[in-house]
Amino acid sequence: MNGRVITVTSGKGGVGKTTATANIGAALADLGKKVVCIDADIGLRNLDVVMGLENRIVYDIVDVVEGRCKLRQALIRDKRLEELYLIPAAQTRDKNAISPKDMVRVCDELRKDFDYILIDSPAGIERGFKNAIAPADEIVIITNPEVSAVRDADRIIGIVEAEQKGPAKLVVNRINMDLVEKGDMLAVADVLELLAVDLIGIVPDDQAVLVSTNRGSPIALEARSKTGQAFRDVARRLTGEQVAFTKANGGGFLGRISQLIRTGSRPGSK
Amino acid sequence: MSVQIKGIREGLLVSVDEGEWTEAEKGLLLELERQKAFLKGARLILDLESHEINAVAMSHLRDQLSDQGLLLWGVLSQSPLTERSAQAMGLATRIHGSEPEPEEEAAAEEPETPADGPAVLLKKTLRSGVNLTHQGDVTVIGDVNPGAQIVAGGNVVVWGRLRGLVHAGAKGDESAVVCAMELSPTQLRIASHIAIPPQESGKPGPEIAFVREGQVVAEEWAPAGASPE
């Protein structure tokens, strides 16, 4: 096997990186892929909680890097999905506990056994972020339809380009159709116009996500959830499948985008 | 001017001064250090002209550059020794026909560059956090996003949307102008004048900004005779 390393990052904190990682990971595993999620947020680990695996942690990534355990021993198997694994971060250390080189080494080893290696990056552009993107074949940027989040995403895209990590892919998370309609929120078209990268997902703002992350059960596995569907679509697009943006999973954004092309005006601008 | 930096397709082409290598290297590193913020993370292609540099000196140079966060990607040289030591380190020694494209275009369209340094042409979108500082004129083919910054001694032309911060005539030239296909910068400065453009500047179309009677004004960018006076 020759797995692909995909790093999920955002620049700004709180936009939903960890939730997205857990859900995309679960959705990929649900498609029958062998997936491992790595929490690169050392010192502030969260991914284990969101995936509901906190109580199973014995070893973490710092233990692997510092040679206290074998890589295999740090892999935690998911409760529901056979082919989904987690390598947790250490909570008692900081980002300097591992280096970008360590991440590359760990990922190279994982590539042999997994189809996808998803890395949940910490916020910021410092060491933790550098660790997270060092081994990446592909970068997925999560942003919210807010000016500050988009600004940070823009900066991250610039850094990713400079690091030669290929064109980043974008997921716009927590879009609220009511606010967009009122002109109080940026529309996906506005975000895309500025960032000019490939869009691979539009995820609606949904309180059910909060409930599912608190319960440690990814919403991507809830067949009837529209938000879950949005994450499943992201996963399918990552596998190379062409999935159209439909009303059901994005609230008719494509209509807005084609409208934009026709009229040459920008929806959502004051 | 000892060190010149140009954006080309492969990265940034940096031309190094003639003369004694140790001096030239010092000048190069100093200039790169000064422009660190703009260059950070960039791929560098050094045009070393006829400097003779052996493998040891070359790897020393590469290490010093990487200490500054810069990746040495390629070397152009007229010296076979320098070329060999670059190749030995796996560096590129040729960039499509080894002729940097901006030079051709600049030469073709603007035979006369102003005395305050040559123009720099950047064919990419400047994203948030990028700082481009240049003594002469600056042309960007692409957008300048909010959070990006251009500081130019001369004029600034953006063939795209200008939404970041721009400072033309930064050394005090009040005749400098700023043009963009869509001129909506966060802040626009010409020489010592600072303007904050209104949020909604009418229909987005090509505009030119310049100083008139001590005020920064923006007008429609007409095809000919667009510059003031």
pLDDT confidence band for A268 (50 / 70 / 90):
very low
Which of A155, A161, A270 is the closest to B128 by Cβ? A155
A residues 182..241 contacting B (CB < 8 A) = 194, 196
Contacts of A196 in chain B (CB under 8 A): 125, 143
Mean pLDDT of chain A: 90
* Partners of B47 in the β-ladder: B15, B76
Angstrom CA distances, A261 to A184, A256, A257, B84, stand at 22, 9, 6, 52
Contacts of B130 in chain A (CB under 8 A): 158
Under an 8 A CB cutoff, do A158 and B127 touch? yes
Contacts of B125 in chain A (CB under 8 A): 196
Nearest partner of A158 among A192, A123, A195, judged by Cα: A195
Q: Search chain A and give the residue with CA nearest B145.
A: A194
Nearest partner of B194 among B160, B222, B165, B157, judged by Cα: B165
Q: For B174-186, what is each residue's pLDDT tens digit?
A: 999 999 999 999 9
Would you say residue A51 has pLDDT above 80?
A: yes
Q: Any chain A CB within 8 A of the CB of B199?
A: yes
The encoded tokens of residue A240 equal: 């190379």
pLDDT confidence band for A14 (50 / 70 / 90):
very high
Q: Any chain B CB within 8 A of the CB of A101?
A: no
The encoded tokens of residue B93 equal: 């020694």
Q: What's the CA gap between B70 and B40, in Å, rounded?
A: 6
Under an 8 A CB cutoff, do A154 and B41 touch? no
What local confidence, expressed as pLDDT, does residue B126 receive? Answer: 94
Q: Search chain B and give the residue with CA nearest A156.
A: B128
Q: From the CA of A241, how many Å to the nearest CA of chain B?
A: 29
Q: For A222-262, what is each residue's pLDDT tens digit?
A: 999 999 999 999 999 999 999 998 654 444 455 455 444 44
Would you say residue A76 has pLDDT above 70?
A: yes
pLDDT confidence band for B95 (50 / 70 / 90):
low
Q: What's the CA gap between B206 and B8, in Å, rounded?
A: 25
Q: Any chain A CB within 8 A of the CB of B145?
A: yes
Q: From the CA of B139, how many Å to the nearest CA of chain A?
A: 19
Q: Following DSSP, what letter does each residue of A33-81 receive, concatenated? A: --EEEEE--TTS--HHHHTT-GGG-S--HHHHHTTSS-HHHH-EE-SS-
Tell me how crowded residue B203 is: count the other CB atoms within 10 A of its CB.
Answer: 7
Global pTM reads 0.69
CB contact at 8 A, B149 and B164: yes
Average pLDDT over residues B169-198: 93
* ipTM tops the 0.90 cut: no
Pairing of strands A169-175, B138-141: unpaired
Interface test with A, best of B9, B66, B128 (most A CBs within 10 A): B128
Contacts of A163 in chain B (CB under 8 A): 41
Using DSSP's 3-state secondary structure scheme, residue B173 falls into coil
Under an 8 A CB cutoff, do B146 and A154 touch? yes
Phi/psi-derived region of residue B225, left when phi > 0, alpha when psi is between -120 and 50, beta in every other case: left
Portion of chain A with pLDDT greater than 70, in percent: 91
Q: For B45-61, what is each residue's pLDDT tens digit?
A: 888 888 888 878 888 88
What local confidence, expressed as pLDDT, does residue A25 receive? Answer: 98
Q: Which residue has the higher pLDDT, B224 or B4?
A: B4
Under an 8 A CB cutoff, do A155 and B127 touch? yes
Under an 8 A CB cutoff, do B41 and A159 touch? yes
Q: For A97-122, what is each residue's pLDDT tens digit?
A: 999 999 999 999 999 999 999 999 99
What local confidence, expressed as pLDDT, does residue B61 receive? Answer: 85
pLDDT confidence band for B200 (50 / 70 / 90):
low
